[in-house]
Structure 1
C-alpha cells in the first residue's frame, strides 16, 4: 500500500464509514438516507425510478450468475443479489482499480464493515438490493470483496451502453 492509499484508508476508518464485524452486525441499516455521490460508474438511484430488476445469484463456488450485465446509460436498475451459498457474500460495484484497492484494504482488515449505496452484503440464503443509476457509459465491474472471494475470481462486468 502506498502512502496515499494508507492515508485514504486511515481517513476512511477515522470517518466512521468503516467498522469491524461482517458476521455479527446487521447490514445496511441506515438511520438517514445515504448521500448521493457521483462515482465513475454512476450514482445511487431512486427506487421509484427503477426500470427493471436484474437478479444476480452468488454461490460458494465464488461465481456470480450472470457475470456480465448490459444496461443503457441513464437507466436506473435494481440489482437483486441472491446468496445461494452457505457463507456471507457481497456485491460491490466499481472500476477495476477501485475494486483492487478496496480488496487490498479488506485483506488487511478482514472484518471491515462498510455501508455504501453501491454495495450489498448478503448473508447465506438471503437477498440484498442495490438501486443504481448508470449515468456514465463504459465498462465497469462488480465483485465480492470478502477476503479470498475476489482472489478466487468472484467478479463480473457491467457494460453501460449509450442511450
Structure 2
C-alpha cells in the first residue's frame, strides 16, 4: 500500500469513528475487567477514541520511526489467560520503584501479572528488552504527549489495579519499567531473568 494511500486512510479514521458513535476501547489480551481496572496504554488528552491509530497524531503501537519493535518482541508474547502457570503480584509506588524488583521465570512460563498502583501518580509497567525500553523511555521524554497501546504493558491511575498475561518463550534478561517521562530514569524498573 502506498504511503499516500495509508496517510489518507488514517486521516479518515476519526471521521468514521465519530460517524458510528463513540466506540468502546477494546480490552487488551489478559487485561482484567472491573470498575477499578485501567485499560493498558498511554493516555493522551482528547485522543482516547483513537487508540491504536498511527500518523501525525502522536500515537504508535510499539514501533519506532525506523520500524523496530520497542516492546516485548524478544521478551515473549501475549499469554493465554486460560493457560496461566502462576500469578505474580507487582506493586508500583511514587518512590519510583516496583516491588518486587527482580523476577525469575522459567522459559515457556505464562505469568499473570496482578499490578497495583499504590501511589498518587499515574504509573505503568512495560515488559521488554532493557535496551528497547530505554530507547522508548527516551522517545517518551522527548514527546510526552505521545500515546500507545501494546499487549506487553499496563498503565494505571492512582489507586488502580489491573492485570496482564505474558508468556516468556525464550531465555534471557529482560526488564519491566515505567516509561512515563522521568520514571524509569528515577529507578522505576525491575529485572526479569528467564531461565
Both proteins in one fold, TM over 0.5: yes
Does 2:150 correspond to 1:128? no
Contact 2:77 2:167 in 1 (8 A): yes
**Structure 2 CA distance for partners of 1:22 and 1:129, relative to 1, 3 Å:** farther
Q: Distance in 2 between matches of 1:75 and 1:50?
A: 8
Deviations 1:131-163 (A, max 9, x none): 0000010111110001011110101001111xx
How many residues of Structure 1 are paired with residues of Structure 2 in the alignment? Answer: 140
Counterpart position of 2:174? 140
Contact 1:22 1:112 in 2 (8 A): no
Does 2:108 correspond to 1:74? yes
CA RMSD of aligned residues (A): 2.9
Q: Distance in 1 between matches of 2:45 and 2:178?
A: 13
Q: Distance in 2 between matches of 1:92 and 1:101?
A: 13
SS at match of 1:99: helix
SS at match of 2:132: helix
Q: Distance in 2 between matches of 1:64 and 1:50?
A: 22
**The one of 163, 179, 184 aligned to 1:150:** 184
Q: Which has the higher strand share?
A: 1
Contact 2:124 2:178 in 1 (8 A): yes
Structure 1 alignment gaps of length 5 or more: 1-13, 30-36
Q: Distance in 1 between matches of 2:110 and 2:164?
A: 10
**Structure 2 CA distance for partners of 1:112 and 1:53, relative to 1, 3 Å:** same
How many Å apart are 1:52 and its aligned residue?
A: 1.1
TM-score (norm 1): 0.77
**Structure 2 CA distance for partners of 1:21 and 1:157, relative to 1, 3 Å:** same
